């Protein structure tokens, strides 16, 4: 693993990792029908929230429960903590009903991060599926803030329909700008959609990047990552340069509850970002 993929618990202090810190919602943005973003600020204590892109927090809704969510904000702007969440279960649906001024408990940041240091000097290809764009947005922010350190940057986003696209405004801005190559595709659309239609793997062949010297970062439903990795391999990208973000049942976030294992790997501690070389074959092993 690259040396920057370590738990960043030295900069954001917390004492008992099982006790949440109280944060207040300062902005609430509905991104799509079932996805929303919240901007959080701490009620007391250190104002900045430092994290490495790819890390997650355990977010606690008073009395309802706690869930692991990747940080989706800008690591160069630690005054605001942003999370983008899909309302699919009990806790996330309760969160969707919260308003500006309400509190959320935060524990973290936990987990290994995207290999930004290792990507310096390379072309970078980012492939996202659905809400998978959220954990990778911090990487894009970081790279844009240090643009000269990276080669070509390509962003490929796949989602179900145009109505499910998150971070519309930013994607439009990046699409129109010259700093990164952006392609968006949907599975089905109405004729009013002027972009690509088709699965996101079909965009990889069309993107312009050096297949032998690149860092690929992939995030989305496991099956989407499976086919994306296959396509990248077909195009000559080495397993060592492919990174994915895995999801498992994480309850403690600190490697002690035993739930999030994939074989010997503990996702909240050794991941959620993994170099594919380390976990190759994981997508084809059933019930692993």
Provide the binding-site residues for another protein, judged by CB under 8 A. Answer: 7, 9, 16-20, 22, 24, 34, 43, 60, 62-66, 88-89, 102-103, 105, 129-130, 158-160, 164, 185, 187-191, 193-199, 201-202, 206, 220-221, 223-224, 227, 247-249, 251-252, 254-259, 261, 263-264, 266, 269, 285-288
Q: How far is the CB of 148 from another protein (least distance, A)?
A: 30
Torsion of CA 225, 230, 232, 238, to 10 degrees: 110
Least Å distance between CB 86 and another protein? 8
Q: Minimum distance between the CB of residue 116 and another protein, rounded to whole angstroms? A: 21
Cβ 143 to another protein shortest distance, Å: 25
Question: What is each CA distance from 44 to 21, 167, 251, in whole angstroms?
Answer: 9, 29, 25
By beta-carbon proximity to another protein, the closer residue of 13 and 221 is 221
Question: 73 and 235 in contact (C-beta within 8 Å)?
Answer: no
Decide whether 102 or 170 has the Cβ nearer to another protein. Answer: 102
- Closest distance between another protein and the C-beta of residue 87, in Å? 10
The residue among 67 and 217 lying less far from another protein, judged by its C-beta, is 67
Least CB distance to another protein at residue 179 (A):
22
On whether the CB atoms of residues 158 and 207 are closer than 8 A, the answer is no
Closer residue to another protein (CB): 74 or 108: 108
Nearest to 141 by CA among 158, 155, 160, 131: 155
- 16 vs 148 by CB, closer to another protein: 16
Omega of the bond prior to 59 within 30 degrees of 0, cis? no
Q: Which two three-digit tokens encode residue 177?
A: 């700008």
DSSP reduced 3-state for 214: strand
Q: How many residues does the chain have?
A: 288
Choose between 148 and 287: whose C-beta lies nearer to another protein: 287
Q: Please give the C-alpha separations between residue 68 and each of 26, 53, 179, 253, 255, in angstroms, as whole numbers.
A: 20, 15, 31, 8, 13
Name the β-bridge partners of 66.
Answer: 60
> Could you tell me the smallest distance in angstroms from the CB atom of residue 225 to another protein?
10
Task: Name the burial class of residue 263, with classes exposed (0-12), middle (13-18) and buried (19+) by CB atoms within 10 angstroms of its CB.
Answer: exposed
Taking the least distance from each CB to another protein, the nearer of 62 and 210 is: 62
């Amino acid at each position: 693993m690259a040396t920057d993929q370590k738990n960043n618990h030295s900069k954001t202090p917390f004492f008992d990792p099982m006790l949440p810190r109280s944060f207040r919602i300062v902005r609430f943005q509905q991104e799509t029908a079932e996805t929303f973003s919240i901007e959080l600020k701490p009620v007391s204590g250190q104002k900045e929230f430092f994290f490495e892109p790819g890390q997650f927090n355990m977010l606690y809704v008073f009395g309802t429960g706690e869930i692991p969510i990747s940080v989706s904000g800008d690591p160069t702007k630690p005054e605001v903590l942003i999370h983008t969440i899909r309302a699919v279960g009990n806790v996330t649906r309760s969160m969707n009903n919260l308003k500006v001024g309400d509190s959320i408990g935060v524990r973290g940041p936990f987990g290994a991060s995207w290999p930004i240091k290792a990507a310096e000097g390379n072309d970078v290809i980012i492939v996202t599926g659905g809400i998978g764009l959220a954990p990778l947005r911090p990487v894009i922010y970081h790279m844009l803030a240090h643009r000269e350190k990276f080669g070509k940057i390509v962003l490929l986003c796949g989602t179900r329909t145009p109505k499910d696209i998150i971070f519309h405004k930013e994607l439009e801005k990046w699409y129109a700008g010259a700093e990164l190559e952006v392609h968006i595709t949907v599975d089905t659309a109405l004729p009013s959609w002027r972009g690509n239609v088709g699965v996101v793997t079909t965009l990889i062949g069309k993107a312009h990047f050096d297949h032998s010297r690149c860092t690929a970062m992939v995030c989305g439903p496991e099956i989407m990552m499976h086919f994306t990795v296959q396509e990248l391999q077909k195009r000559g990208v080495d397993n060592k340069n492919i990174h994915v973000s895995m999801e498992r049942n994480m309850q403690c976030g600190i490697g002690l509850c035993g739930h999030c294992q994939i074989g010997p790997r503990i996702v909240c501690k050794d991941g959620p970002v993994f170099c594919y070389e380390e976990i190759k074959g994981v997508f084809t092993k059933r019930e692993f």
